[in-house]
Amino acid sequence: MVNELPKKPATHGRFPAFNPIGRAGASFKPQHLEAIAAEPDSIGFLEVHAENYMGAGGPPHAALTKIREMLPVSLHGVCMSIGGLDPLDKEHLARFAGLVERYEPCLVSEHLAWSTHDDVFYNDLLPLPYTNETLAHVCAHIDQVQEAIGRSMLLENPSTYVLFKESTWKETDFLREVVRRAGCGLLLDVNNVFVSATNHGYSATEYLADFPLEHVGEIHLAGHDEQEDDEGAPLLIDSHDRPVADPVWTLYEMVIARQGPITTLVEWDADIPDWPVLRSEAMAAETILKRQSIAPDAGKRHAIHLS
């Protein structure tokens, strides 16, 4: 596959063409609309789950239109089932492409996961084995999405609780090969890295050392819950219901120090706090982005990366 897709969104001038580079953003929740509208400059951008805006009209579209007039918006799909063996749902893909066209998002992303099998939708990000067969399916699905939206998308690394006996690829190698074949970018979820590394007993630092950071167009940070696995060892759950954990901040700072500033989002999807709490998490990410962009050798690293 040859990647000739534009990296940047096409704009129709319906909305301002903001650029959130070097800024941090937060998940958009409708209950925060008023607080954000009162002070839109206090956040770099907002991210929405595409499926929440797939109704025909009504308050969700009115709110998103208002937000988009003030800020850049990142469109994050949750239900495309890119990691499934079934063909993509054409209607769902058309609705997704319709949102890209309508809201001119600054970033478009989906997950390395599946959620639909034989027409039943499970509303969760389910894991897939990493094999030559799934690699071919994932690449074909990404191709189809990028064709439909007319630009490249970012694919997010998953948080997982189980492994597949038949997997033959390391996750980082699998992602690197997807990028090479499909010409997409990556969304690096640092919390997912920490959750999966803990759950599967490998080093998050080594995973990140293997990760193709040069293809990362966005970073996600979020909070997780801690439970126990079958043997009583910690099993982390990607819950998005609390502040980002300290070890995740440490890994994040490491990534930014290595790669320079990358547009970063703090996700919060359950037990949603008042806007100032969520915004302060995003501000903490922005502080790290700014610190690394003015560090004496950060510019040099970035220059090396660009050349």
Instruction: List residues binding another protein (CB under 8 A).
Output: 51-52, 54-62, 79, 81, 84-86, 89, 92, 114-124, 126-129, 161-166, 199-202, 227-231, 235, 237
Which C-beta is closer to another protein: that of 23 or that of 92?
92
Whether residue 106 contacts residue 74, with contact meaning beta carbons closer than 8 Å, is answered with yes
Give the sign of the dihedral formed by CA 49, CA 55, CA 57, CA 60.
Answer: negative
β-strand partners of 218: 187
∠ CA 187-177-19, nearest 5°, is: 30
Q: Which is nearer to another protein, 100 or 256 (CB)?
A: 100
Between CA 236 and CA 224 the distance in angstroms is: 6
How many residues can be counted in the chain? 307
**Shortest Å, Cβ 119 to another protein:** 6
Task: Find the shortest distance in angstroms from Cβ 237 to another protein.
Answer: 6
Alpha carbon 162 to its chain centroid, in Å, reads 21
Burial environment of residue 169 by CB neighbours within 10 A (0 to 12, 13 to 18, 19 or more)? middle
Min. distance of Cβ 57 from another protein in angstroms?
Answer: 4
The residue among 90 and 305 lying less far from another protein, judged by its C-beta, is 90
> What's the CA gap between 42 and 62, in Å, rounded?
21
| Integer Cα distance of 125 and 114 in angstroms | 6
- Nearer to another protein (CB atom), residue 63 or residue 154: 63
Q: Of 116 and 152, which has the nearer Cβ to another protein?
A: 116
CB of 62 to another protein, least distance (A): 6
Identify which of residues 68 and 92 has a Cβ nearer to another protein in the complex. 92
DSSP output for 242-269: SPPPHHHHHHHHHHHHHH----EEE---
Would you say 143 or 229 has its CB closer to another protein? 229
**Residue 305 CB coordination number (10 Å):** 12
Q: Please identify, using beta-carbon distances, which residue of 89 and 253 lies nearer to another protein.
A: 89
Question: Least distance (Å) from another protein to the CB of residue 95?
Answer: 8
Min CB(178)–another protein separation in Å:
17
Q: How far is the CB of 161 from another protein (least distance, A)?
A: 4
Token look-up 């839109």 returns: 40
- Least distance to another protein, CB of residue 91, Å: 9
List, as one string, the DSSP characters of 117-144.
Answer: ETTEEEEEEE----SHHHHHHHHHHHHH
